[in-house]
Structure 1
């Protein structure tokens, strides 16, 4: 099973502030949907709470330390290994969608990164970890600011070099 991560990041890898996204970018939301639809998504509890609802057409799994947490329409797990075990072997790719501590904890296990590089510098308190070297860009598409999207952005797919 391929373990992938998806995130939108600023020039300094900021991803949010006070458990909220820093922007409203419909082009990024479309990219996120295209990349995750039909795939299981794994997120931390705070990320789920910031989204506020179960994302449709995807199996939603929330990682939590709270063994009593139950959310209708969502599977809960206490580790990535448990989440992957719950999914079974018939899954080709799983998408980790945040937040910062989940990215940090599991980046070493990711084989693919779907990143939206938002060309801006904004204050935040949550960051995507530095993925370092050892990755190759396999897809790159620019989207320039327009009436609906305040910032230039680049959609990227990186794969870990083996």
Structure 2
């Protein structure tokens, strides 16, 4: 199963200048709990935004740069298709960004774990539109802002709708 995991604002903003725009500790905890022990697929810029590879995850980095040298243990490929091929069958693998990679991965994804930040931000990277005819919201947990979280946010989970035979 391919799951896209992201935090995006109401206007679909993901980040600016290869940085997150907000700080939501509970979102980081959720990301860690969901992705630990799994393969994570990301673009080169997303990988380079980390101080070091995330522990207890297999990193698959998509880049057009020939001979790109990543940290030891990371897998480097040049397409979303090749990245998905490197993931173990029958296990959940995660697409973690950035904007271009989410757009490329959308047709291959089965599930979306989206933290919606209830605010609009100026950004240069955006999450793709979630089309209601393709995706069903199966859970949404609202979280009110508090002393550690400057914005209200929701943990939303979508699954891809199955097409009926008449739609194929």
TM-score class, shorter-chain normalisation, is over 0.9
Once residues 108 and 82 of structure 1 are traced to their aligned partners in structure 2, the CA distance between those partners, rounded to angstroms, is 14
Give the C-alpha shift of residue 37 in structure 1. Answer: 1.2
Q: Give the alignment's Cα RMSD to 1 decimal.
A: 1.2
**TM-score, with length taken from structure 2:** 0.90
Once residues 100 and 56 of structure 1 are traced to their aligned partners in structure 2, the CA distance between those partners, rounded to angstroms, is 23
The equivalences for 1:73-92 within 5 A come to 73-89=73-89, 91-92=90-91
**TM-score, with length taken from structure 1:** 0.93
Q: Does residue 1:102 correspond to 2:88, yes or no?
A: no
Partner residue, 2:4: 5
Give the C-alpha shift of residue 88 in structure 1. Answer: 4.1
Once residues 150 and 65 of structure 1 are traced to their aligned partners in structure 2, the CA distance between those partners, rounded to angstroms, is 37
List runs of 5+ in structure 2 lacking aligned partners.
Answer: 163-168
Q: Is the 8 A contact 2:9 2:119 kept in 1?
A: yes
Partner residue, 1:46: 45
Work out the number of aligned pairs and report it.
Answer: 160
Give the C-alpha shift of residue 67 in structure 1. Answer: 2.3
Partner residue, 1:145: 145
Question: Equivalent residue of 2:47, what SS?
Answer: helix
